[in-house]
Amino acid sequence: MKRWIKWTAGGALLLGVVVVATATSGLYLAEQKRNRYIDIKPRPVAYTTDAQTIERGRYLYASRGCTDCHGAQGTGREFVNDGKGTRIVGPNITPAGVVARYQPEDWNSVIRHGVKPNGRPLLVMPSEDYNRFTNDDLNALVSYVRQFKPQEGTQAVVELPRPAWVLYGLGAIPDAAARIDHQLAPSRPVPAGVTVANGQYVANMCIGCHGADLSGGKIPGGPPDWPAAADIRPGANSAMARYPNAASFVAMLRTGKRPDGTPIQVMPFESLGQLSDVDAKALYLFLTAPGALAKAGGAGAGVGHAPASGEVGLNDGVADAHLVRVEQPKGPQHRPSNVPSVSSGLRMPG
């Protein structure tokens, strides 16, 4: 009996030591990961002021998730606060905010690659949704954001409970830059229309939660109480089976409710509701067309919105950025002298 008690106590002590060591290691690795330097050479964005481009940028900002984190006027907003230690605030992206000193290449780095101008990774940024933007669409989005009036707003905040930081350090939760193929070419333009090709491009906005193959699962970095993202691939077991036609699917995007009237949790309906009827119907067509996803090689693989007549194409289809190297921090960290300082907004547990 005494021997059993000794073994039990010893095992519990050993387990406790392992848990503490793992947590300590995870927190250390988290600090290392968020301070690693990612050396990419993104192509600069071409600023444009013509009305057609600005309107396209306005539509993209409203319908591709930007308002969910940065607000309609770009002043930032709190978009996650579960009251259990997870709090995330999107930063002010007006000229009075974090983008004040952005250079043309910095916009590309942040939006498409999840890498801050100082070369450090962004923890929360759905860059995998934007990595396949055509060059014209990226240009339009940035040009629209740049015309925001300077206003006071929020600073970026990412507060996570200690276990989440441990998981991040151990690689279970990837940051924005880790989810990106930094040498992937931008999408090639495709004409707007209710087509599988256009739907494939629109489906890029689904990747962040539903995965590159749209099979769903646990949402990366989401709070523990968030439901898993649904499988939205074509098939009888897909969530898309609930929607017998495009009209029922579009109604869900507009109302946030399934055909039976039950509400859907977590989905970014503030943005989804702004999709045009053409894009919404095209998305439905892509998500329900047998074999379309497999033939495409994943959502958004290679196609995108074509510029209207008179717009200038920007050599879409050529590798967007050259990934030079990824450096893990060694000793005191210093950002390159030629890039602006950007606050990380990350708060490690005390």
Tell me what pLDDT residue 243 has. 96
Token readout for 251 is: 């109604």
User: Secondary structure of the chain in the HEC alphabet?
Assistant: CHHHHHHHHHHHHHHHHHHHHHHHHHHHHHHHHHCCEEEEEECCCCCCCCHHHHHHHHHHHHHCCHHHHHCCCCCCEEEEECCCCCEEEECCCCCCCCCCCCCHHHHHHHHHHCECCCCCECCCCCHHHHCCCCHHHHHHHHHHHHCCCCCCCCCCEEECCHHHHHHHHCCCCCCCHHHCCCCCCCCEEECCCCCHHHHHHHHHHHHHHHCCCCCCECCCCCCCCCCCECCCCCCCCCHHHHCCCHHHHHHHHHHCECCCCCECCCCCHHHHCCCCHHHHHHHHHHHHCCCHHHHHCCCCCCEEECCCCCCCCCCCCCCCEEEEEEECCCCCCCCCCCCCCCCCCEECCC
Q: How many residues appear in the chain?
A: 350
Q: Please report the domains of the chain, with CATH numbers, ordered by start residue.
A: 37-187+321-350 (no CATH), 192-305 (1.10.760)
Q: What is the pLDDT of residue 340?
A: 32
What's the confidence (pLDDT) of residue 334? Answer: 38
The pTM for the full model equals 0.81
Residue 330's pLDDT is what? 52
Report yes or no: 121 and 38 within 8 Å, Cβ to Cβ: yes
pLDDT at 226: 85
Q: Are strands 157-159 and 346-347 parallel, antiparallel or unpaired?
A: parallel
pLDDT of residue 21: 64
- Phi then psi for residue 38, to 5 deg, are -110, 110
Contact 67, 271 (CB under 8 A): yes
Taking only the tens place, the pLDDT of each residue in 79-88 is: 999 898 999 9
- Side chain identity at 61, as an amino acid letter? Y
The reported pLDDT for the residue numbered 135 is: 96
* Sites in the chain below the pLDDT cut of 70: 1-21, 292-350
